[in-house]
Chains A and B, each alone.
Chain A
Amino acid sequence: MDAESLLLSLELASGSGQGLSPDRRASLLTSLLLVKRDYRYDRVLFWGRILGLVADYYIAQGLSEDQLAPRKTLYSLNCMEWSLLPPATEEMMAQTSVVKGRFMGDPSHEYEHTELQKINEGGKVFEEEVVVQIKEETRLVSIIDQIDKAVAIIPRGALFKTPFGPIHVNRTFEGLSLSEAKKLSSYFHFREPVQLKNKTLLEKADLDPSLDFMDSLEHDIPKGSWSIQMERGNALVVLRSLLWPGLTFFHAPRTKNCGYIYVGTGEKNIDLPFML
């Protein structure tokens, strides 16, 4: 959610129950402004909160002019002092995919994972158990990246693409209409499109290239991994991800207010197919 409309956004997202305590809210309001100034970001988003056993991580992201450029992620333990996280790499993802369980809450904590590695020593090949240390920071980075790629969403029309390439916030975006807001196809993944090219020509003909340049939620696998609800009558539409429980996206139809926040343990819900 945008740091500028933090209070309103928190209020709108409060239906999921997990929010922020007043002192965190107050700290965020001040510290995010400073972050924006210091790092010269165009927009700062408060991404959410990852619950750890000992402490919680508060995550913020900074965006530059081009909305789809890779975002800088910052984390903090007390909402005041922010540290920049390194960008996610494939290697990190592979490494941290073996770690299971909750986050500790201590960024220097190291997970131990024993692996069998084949070691060549003088012609002989034998396997040895190697204990690999994985830092919690790395895990944090890759989880945030995974969540972003999987479930960060934005309504259709909120961003538009210019012929020169960069993607801008659409200032004339007035919100989705009610009928559009109830459909999954009006929401896009807030990331580089992956499935767009696979569309048939007929489908592509209907797309508006300045608005429809991202994947829509319609074709997400497994089907039904999003729960759309209208709260307060029809005054607020809330999407909750079932794949990463804790991610809440809210939008007030016909207004500009929209945003998402993740408050959860940072674990994927692999049991989803059983639960539907």
Chain B
Amino acid sequence: MEDSTSPKREKANQDPREAGQPWEEVTAASSQGLESGLSEPLELEQGLETGPQPRSPPQSPQSRASIPLDDLTGPGASYPPSPPQEASYTPSPPALARQDLAVPWQSDKTTSVNPEAGTPHVHHLEQSSDKGESTASHTFQSEGSTFRQSQQTKHHLYGPEDVNYNNSKQKELRFNIFQDEDSNSNYDLDYAEPGVSELAPSMLEITIQSAKAYLQKTSSKSGLNLYDHLSDMLAKVLDERPENAVDIIESISQDVKMRHFRKKLDTLQNENEMLPTYEIAEKQRALFLQGNLEGADQELEDEIAENALPNVMESAFYFEQAGVGLGTDETYRIFLALKQLTDTHPIQRCRFWGKILGLEMNYIVAEVEFREGEDEEDVEEEDVTEERDDADSEADEDDEDQLPRTFYKTPQAIPKEENRTGANKYVYFVCNEPGRPWVKLPSVTPAQIVTARKIKKFFTGRLDAPIISYPPFPGNESNYLRAQIARISAGTHVSPLGFYQFGEEEGEEEEEVEGRRDSFEENPDFEGTQVIDLVESLSNWVHHVQHILSQGRCNWFNPIQKSEEEEEEEDEEKEEEKGEEPDYTEQEVGPPLLTPISEDLEIQNIPPWTTRLSSNLIPQYAVAVLRSNLWPGAYAFSNGKKFENFYIGWGHKYSLDNYTPPALPPVYQEYPSGAEITEMDDPTVEEEQAFRAAQEAAVLSAEENEETEEDEEEDDYDQE
């Protein structure tokens, strides 16, 4: 603290020299300024650790100080120019420049004050330039001017920065000041001696002053001034030391400006934007905490015994080997959501079916089998067959003219399959994100499947969104989703051969019409297949979901049987129409359950499945991975003993050709064209004339006949 004290000493020493009240005031003022200014050199000193200060007094600063004093009425200089003999203690210059200013200041100070030290004046200046600031000399001078200014304005100019900066130091300094009254420093400060050299630097001084004043002009728009901004920027650059700072200097400048504004607007913006994040985090937190319900030991055992929940993480691990998966965290959350599902519903078995991507939101699908007898009732759908009666009742019975009746009969709606059979074997639950509530999808009807085959639409993510398409889809997005899930399951759910076997109770004879076996069970004797075998040959995999016929059902429904009954009722009215309906519709047959997938049809030379070993580098622990080419996104894996199916994708089938919407059906022949209602052409002019001529000829001939008869009669009279 030597150096700091020395200027103070100098100051103190000056006091007796000048003496007088004004001096004291000035002293007080400048001491404050001194203190504030000193804080910077203090730091500097600690940094520099210069020894005894050089003592070559450059008279110039001081002399400079004295001369331009008068000029220094400048901005805000209200104070009468006090003798700058106080030495150019810089009141704390702006933050960044402080170091540079400090150095020259110090060098200035110490050189002037302590001529005893032998260190050349140059030393300090060198040090200052070592600081890397090329403006050292400039600041040196400007520092002088700033000192003066601040002295007069009581460091008003440098505002809060100085205060903050100096607060800690002030008391210290004050203490020191009053302590070291006696100094042995040299008081070469001969301010009253303007040297010749003063003239040239004074011009420079003036320019610098005015430049600095200009820089410190406050902008009318933003309230900042360039000086502060530049110093902030340089401080930031020096603190952060980015590479190639010159290239990004504009961005840095912008950032510094932004900093002024950030505080006020921050909290408000964050609130609104982060809300959904917090919401979903809350919901997911609930997932994690659900296990903390009053869990008695019994419940724990029950849970472990029940086993309705699949081991999702294990399957996820295997799928990850294949490069398919949602990421571990997400999968775990889904796992917990599934657990929540099984806890709230009476579920026998549950499986993570997959994820279907949508435009606005995605669907996470769980395949669920309810416990026996615990099926939830579906909402009854409207009876489509009633429409036919309406059509019939429209026929007006007029005595005179019967409006032609239409022969059109609404084709009978094929009833949907019962729950737990066929396409409705499993119930599906969906949710948009784990943590959100699960929604049950309605059962699928054959009409929906048939229409779903003809359209291709993206899912939006909202279950109640309408599907606008041709042919019009009977239902909204939840039905379409269910239909696609059914199709995907039927097409791509496979298992290794032998994993499932047919139940043994069914007799062989029942296989004919109804008895495509539709039930299977796990084979307890399954010993596993070699992974290599699974990869090499497709016949080692079988479908374990029933194929959906083109009718839309898995089990054939004969529409003729019922319609025969109805036709008997309407026989009287529509006898002639019977012949128009086909009497016999062929039964649709599909591949039976548990057919190997090697029998799957190719898509125009593309094999329907691609098999892969999950890893070529370590084949002994690899799993066999099946990828469907027909439904891109459907995967199946097996490690010999275990297997699992998964779907992740948009939910559409693959086709080589473009999608073409089906053509409109031809206009229906609603009535027979017969003579009564067929329009006839109007007769042409010639025909009319010919007709008239013919008529006239007939009349004439009739008249002639009469005349001749009369003539004959007259003749007869004459003769007698």
Contacts and interface: CB of A to CB of B under 8 A. Distances in A.
Interface of A: 11, 14-24, 49, 51, 53-54, 78, 100-102, 162, 168, 170-172, 177-179, 224, 227, 229-235, 240, 242, 245, 264-265, 270-271, 274-276
Given A53-B606, A229-B362, A234-B276, A17 B458 contact: no
B627 interface: yes
Contacts of B248: 170-172
Contact of A233 (B281, B654, B658): B281
Nearest to A233: B277
A234 B274 contact: yes
A274 B610 contact: no
A276 B629 CA distance: 23
B617 A17 contact: no
A252 B618 CA distance: 35
B457 interface: yes
A16 B326 CA distance: 7
Given A17-B648, A18-B648, A232 B280 contact: yes
Given A172-B255, A233-B278, A15 B359 contact: no
Interface residues of B, number: 59
Most B C-beta atoms less than 10 A away, residue of A231, A233, A240: A233
B616 A21 contact: no
A251 to B, nearest CB: 15
Given A21-B615, A101-B606, A233-B280, A240 B357 contact: yes
B617 A276 contact: no
A229 to B, nearest CB: 7
7 contacts: A19-B324, A54-B610, A101-B606, A170-B251, A177-B273, A232-B277, A242-B458
Contacts of B275: 234
B242 A171 contact: yes
A170 B242 CA distance: 13
B273 A23 contact: no
Most B C-beta atoms less than 10 A away, residue of A21, A100, A170: A21
B11 interface: no
Contacts of B610: 51, 53-54
Contacts of B633: 17
B159 interface: no
Nearest to B433: A231
Interface string B337-365: 00000000000000000010111111000
Nearest to B325: A19
Contacts of A234: 273-277
Contacts of A229: 360-362
A233 B330 CA distance: 13
A232 B456 CA distance: 29
Contact of A22 (B277, B321, B649): B321
B485 interface: no
Contact of B604 (A15, A101, A240): A101
A11 B362 CA distance: 18
A21 B607 contact: no
Contacts of A240: 357
A245 B242 CA distance: 40
Most B C-beta atoms less than 10 A away, residue of A18, A51, A172, A178: A18
Contacts of B358: 227
Nearest to B282: A233
Given A102-B606, A170-B251, A17 B649 contact: yes
B247 to A, nearest CB: 7
Given A172-B252, A172-B255, A16 B357 contact: yes
B430 interface: no
Contact of B279 (A21, A179, A224, A233): A233
Nearest to B617: A23
A232 B326 CA distance: 13
B50 to A, nearest CB: 38
B397 to A, nearest CB: 46
Contact of B629 (A17, A22, A102, A171): A102
Contacts of A245: 650
B323 interface: yes
Contact of B658 (A16, A53, A172, A270): A270
Contacts of A265: 632, 654
